[in-house]
Structure 1
Amino acid sequence: MAGLIFLLIIIAVSVYGILKPLPRGISVENGPYPVTGVEFIYDLTFQKDGKTVREQQIFDRIYELIDEAEQFIIIDMFLFNDDYDRKTSYPGLSSRLTEALAAKKEENPDIEITFITDEINTFYGSYPSEHLEKLKEYGIRVTMTDLTRLRDPNPVFSGFWRTAVRWFGTAGQGWLANAFSPDSPDVTLRSYLRLLNFKANHRKVVVTEKKALVTSANPHDASGYHSNIAFVVEGGIIPEIAASEKAVADFSGNGDAISKKAIVQTGEKKDNGSKSTAGNMQVSLLTEGKIRKHILDTIKEAGPGDIIWMGMFYLSERDIIRELIVASGRGAQVKLVLDPNKDAFGMEKNGVPNRPVANEMVTESEGEIKVRWYDTRGEQYHSKFVMVKGRETSVIYGGSANLTRRNIMDFNLETDLKIVAPNDSELVREINGYFERIWNNEGGNYTVDYEKYRDRSSFRKVLYRFQEWSGLCSF
């Protein structure tokens, strides 16, 4: 009888974990705000004349935003560490960002600097993060996201974990090898069990009183050579982005980390902060499930003569896939640049989910959906953005969100921008040029033909569908 009661409790906790209310300020859609310009920047790793070439812009731009800030800086980043196998060398992104923020605080002691991040950087509480501790030493407010407040994408396990394991914490003498790096501290079994909840604050945002940057890039050393994208905006959208970050600090029990007064004052000072101010582009803030809602609505409107460009690290959400196939059937051109899902920080992956997903879309569209694989050589094509180009205007989505159940169905924390721009704008020309460049291998070798990684495996198809449905996966 006791066992049956325990099982019923776990089932009840599992169901509640999927359906429970989201914290206030999560899964929002704010805007549109008219702006006169949006900056598109990117990192690309590719081959040219037999050599590896790396074009990197994103973190240089982040350091510029830090230098320009006067009132406050809010940074929310998923991966922020230097945990990796030292057999390979990577750029010191985590150390450099730490030093930049510390130097800014020394230069301007009155500036409010807040750093929000994910528990993964302490291996879920097994040991302190050197970089986060240094930020604290300089008076920078650090918030560790309380992931227990979020819904559970892996409910079968999370129901058990919340009922029987959570209460014991994760701290203590580690005795298990660290899966992220043999050179990092050993960890506790309880930390591994916490990891198996498979959820995260996956956002990648930098906000100051002057500008905001939303990106797919992490300040994580082993991610330093990944290909990524970012957008920089200013105007009335800034206080909305700052407020979305304050919501995370609030539900994580660190509400004083971001000054509400500073956010309000920033909004008041923006001349183009009103939704009625003229501008040739419109920018909206989308987080969590609202990203899925808007992307689906945009794809559903695509028809003959329209082009859907997508650059994506993970694509697996079932409704997105179905609507892409339907849009192709209506006559829209669908062109996807996907990561082949074969590389993960020195480890080889099995191609799930992108390869079985690509096979499904190409097959069901009878070859009308076109796919090219980014030609990764140990790094990842980590970009996450979509452009639907209509006759006169384009709708662009970009930020932290992979198009997976976990990322865009109110489980992970995610931030994207939605941008509506005329086709003759510099922004649309730049993004279109970016896609044409990597699709056609202009000036280098970026992508390879679909057939190179085509995967007809029934096993991997079933595996992907089960993992996407159940949450028993890392994508």
Structure 2
Amino acid sequence: MSHSTVALYRSICLAALCSLLLTACSSMPKGLSATGPVRAADDVDFFYDQTYREGDGDEVINQEVMDEILAMIDSAETLVVLDMFLYNDFAGDTAFRPLSDELTAALIRAKERHPDMPVVLITDPFNTIYGGMESPYFDRLEAAGVDVVITNLAKLPASNRTWTTLWTVCCRFLGNSTRGGWLPNPVGPGKVTLRSYLHLLNFRANHRKTLVVNNGSEWHALVTSMNPHDASSRHDNNAVTFTGPAALDLLQTERAAALMSGYDAAEFWPEAPTSSELNDDADFRLQVLTEGAIETGLLTMIDSSEAGDRIDLEMFYLASRPVIKALIRAHERGVELRVMLDPNRDAFGREKNGIPNRQAAWDLHEEGITVRWCATEGEQCHRKWIRLDRANGETQVIAGSANFTRRNLHNLNMETSVLLTVRSDHPEVIAMRDDFDRSWSNPDDTVFSLDYAEFSDHSRWRYGMYRFMEATGMSTF
């Protein structure tokens, strides 16, 4: 072997080693993984989307989340900042509602009503297949003066570390183009480049779903599990809205996302108040949590539960080993648990294999925890919340964008949730509890949920696949 060949091999190995060290040591950029102060929150409301079947098989679709988003945007007078993960009409041939078009029209109306008002959309590059195709919605927004900020995912830690190490060496600097695509679009019509697929395999994402507006007299915020994605318009989702200083805390987390992605105008957004005095008369205490701070708050809440308390959980993806172990420990302490999971069989016309929920459910079922499945028929049970009703009359809720997986909780994806504390007999909590009870028990011959046996999967092969995928990041969950 010639000296030049040896030198080339050494250079390649050195580059790969440097890439591995960089991906292994990277951390969340400044301002992310935020733990907001505990604040007294005003005007806290919960909103729900749900699809279910009557006893005769007729489908019923109830939706509240998008209607609230549109109303908030219509009320804005000085600022709109929207951060949404999926914002497209991919695979939307059988969509119930054109969510992406409705949202685009609302943002344009807001800009037309108040031409000097900043209207900002922060979103994930998946909506352009990582630069491999144009988005007609983003083109319309930009033509109307709306600022569209594509998240710079390269600044996030590596989720799929094995691939990202290779991609950083071989492909990161190749860029992408909307022209010259020759491979099928993985989620819709048309062709995309090989570079789109190579980028996709990093499995990085800005998975946040938030909205902050100022209506001239107050700050109003929303955190949700819903995507303005047409093919997702029949999904079950949840949202929380609130006003007051906590809304400005949420705005600071979006400032960090915007600045990370090169949107310097975010420097001029208002700051949150530094004082966080709690008003004893306030019904709710609220804390904004992002990225890894969600996991910290979640594990602290579960581990603080005691015998006589109850935990209800409704989740699209449950895979996190620390969370599953915390739930099992709570059960062993005498906490009553009810866990409702999506069966992970439906993905926009494609059938999935049930990973990871059926395997996580097996872990819980083996320990005596009651698990039921959302009764989905094409749609997804896309909600992401957990509620702890304490025996002392206090309730805590964590709700937002984060699935309970390694990628969503361990400082990899960008995520936003809120931690709420309130008395257990508050009307909003009673309504939330009633909603879950109805889904759990299927009253009046309605079909909201199914027994564990309907989708139980005790295959050790698929269980091993789940554990490998969760540990390595070589998965989409």
What does the per-residue CA deviation read over 1:376-416, in whole Å, with 9 as the maximum and x for residues that have no partner? 00010000000011011111000000000000100000000
- The more displaced of 6-15 and 93-102 is 6-15
Q: Which amino acid aligns with 1:420?
A: T
Q: 1:222 aligns with which of 209, 231, 237?
A: 231
- Quote how far apart the aligned CAs of 1:281 are: 1.4
For the 8 Å contact 2:222–2:240, the answer to whether it is kept is yes
For 1:238 and 1:284, the matched residues in 2 are separated by 10
Candidates 104, 107, 119, aligned match of 1:101: 107
Alpha carbons 1:305, 1:332 under 8 Å: kept: yes
How far apart in 2 are the matches of 1:387 and 1:89? 31
Q: Secondary structure at the match of 1:31?
A: coil
Equivalent position amino acid for 2:387 in 1: M
Counterpart for residue 52 of structure 1: 59
Matched, 1:205 2:210: yes
| 2:474 alignment partner in structure 1 | 472
1:250-269 alignment, distance < 5 Å: 250-256=259-265, 258=266, 260=268, 262-264=269-271, 267=272
The one-letter code of the counterpart of 1:465 is R
Q: Which residue of 2 aligns with 1:158?
A: 164
Show CA shifts across 1:355-375 (max 9, x none): 011011111x1x2x1100000
Alignment correspondent of 2:3: none
In structure 1, how many angstroms separate the alpha carbons of the residues matched to 2:9 and 2:279? Answer: 63
Cα deviations across residues 243-275 of structure 1 (Å, max 9, x unaligned)? 11010110111121x352x423xx56x9xx843
* Preserved contact between residue 259 and residue 267 of structure 2 (Cα < 8 Å): no
- 1: CA distance between counterparts of 2:396 and 2:206? 26
Q: State the secondary structure of the residue aligned to 1:231.
A: strand
3-state DSSP of counterpart to 2:192:
coil
- In structure 1, the partner of 2:24 is 18
More moved, 337-346 vs 209-218: 209-218
User: C-alpha distance in 1, partners of 2:267/2:146?
Assistant: 13
Secondary structure at 1:193 match in 2: helix
Residue 73 of structure 1 aligns with which residue? 80
Q: Which residue of 1 aligns with 2:199?
A: 194
Aligned 1:337-348 pairs, distance under 5 A:
337-348=340-351
Is contact 2:95–2:234 with CA below 8 Å preserved after alignment?
A: no
Shift of 1:14: 2.5
Distance of aligned partners of 1:370 and 1:293 in 2 relative to their CA distance in 1, 3 Å threshold: same
CA distance in 2, matches of 1:156, 1:131: 34
How many angstroms does 1:50 deviate by?
Answer: 1.2
- Matching of residue 247 in structure 1 with residue 252 in structure 2: no
C-alpha displacement of 1:277: 3.0
| Identity fraction in percent | 37
Deviation at 1:21?
3.0
Counterpart-to-counterpart distance in 2, 1:334 and 1:114: 41
1:452 corresponds to: 454
Cα offset, 1:85, TM superposition: 5.8
Letter in 2 for 1:70: E
SS for the counterpart of 1:385 is strand
CA distance in 2, matches of 1:436, 1:15: 49
2: distance between equivalents of 1:194 and 1:454? 34
Residue in structure 2 matched with residue 329 of structure 1 by the alignment:
332
Task: Give 1:67 shift.
Answer: 1.1
Spell out, residue by residue over 1:24-52, the C-alpha distance to the aligned partner (whole angstroms, 9 max, x if none).
10000002111244101110000013100
Query: 1:8 deviation in Å?
Result: 4.2
5+ residue gaps, structure 2, are 1-5
- Give the drift of 1:4: 4.6
1:461 to 456, 460, 463: 463
For 2:130, the equivalent position in structure 1 comes to: 124
Indicate the SS of the match to 1:81: coil
* C-alpha distance after superposition, 1:316-358 (max 9, x if no partner): 0110001101110010011100000000000000000000110
Distance 2:39 2:276 in 1: 7
The match for 1:381 is 381
Q: How far apart, in 2, do the equivalents of 1:431 and 1:228 lie?
A: 13
Is the 2:92–2:230 contact (alpha carbons within 8 Å) kept by the matching residues of 1?
A: no
The CA distance in 2 between the partners of 1:35 and 1:191, in whole Å, is 42
- Residue 133 of structure 1 aligns with which residue? 139
| Cα distance in 2, alignment partners of residues 474 and 299 from structure 1 | 26
Provide the rounded CA distance (Å) in 1 between the counterparts of 2:264 and 2:453. 51
When the two chains are superposed, the root-mean-square deviation of aligned CA atoms in Å is 1.5
Counterpart of 1:307 in structure 2 is: 310
Alignment CA distance shift 1:177-1:22 (3 Å): same
TM-score relative to the length of structure 2: 0.94
Confirm or deny: 8 A CA contact 1:31 1:275 kept in the other structure.
no
Alignment of 1:260-299 (within 5 A): 260=268, 262-264=269-271, 267=272, 274-278=276-280, 279-299=282-302
Contact 1:44 1:227 in 2 (8 A): yes
- Kept after mapping to 2: 8 A contact 1:135/1:141: yes
> Hey, what's the Cα distance between the residues in 2 that align with 1:7 and 1:335?
50
Rounded Cα–Cα distance in structure 1 between residues aligned with 2:476 and 2:222: 26
Matching residue of 2:68? 61
Query: For the residues of structure 2 that align with 1:9 and 1:394, how far apart are their CA atoms?
Result: 52
Alpha-carbon distance in 2 for matches of 1:21, 1:461? 30
AA of the residue aligned to 2:459 = S
2:97 aligned partner: 91
What CA distance in whole angstroms lies between the structure 2 residues aligned with 1:390 and 1:36? 22
8 Å Cα contact 2:37-2:276 kept in structure 1 = no
The amino acid that maps onto 2:476 is S
Code of the residue aligned with 1:389 in structure 2: it is D
Task: Give the aligned residue type for 2:53.
Answer: Q
C-alpha contact 2:42 2:244 (8 A) present in aligned 1: no
Partner secondary structure for residue 38 of structure 2: strand
Check the 8 A contact 2:212/2:221 in 1, yes or no: yes
Q: Secondary structure at the match of 1:38?
A: strand
CA contact (8 A) 1:314 1:339 kept: yes
1:442 corresponding residue in structure 2: 443
Question: What does residue 408 of structure 1 align with?
Answer: 409
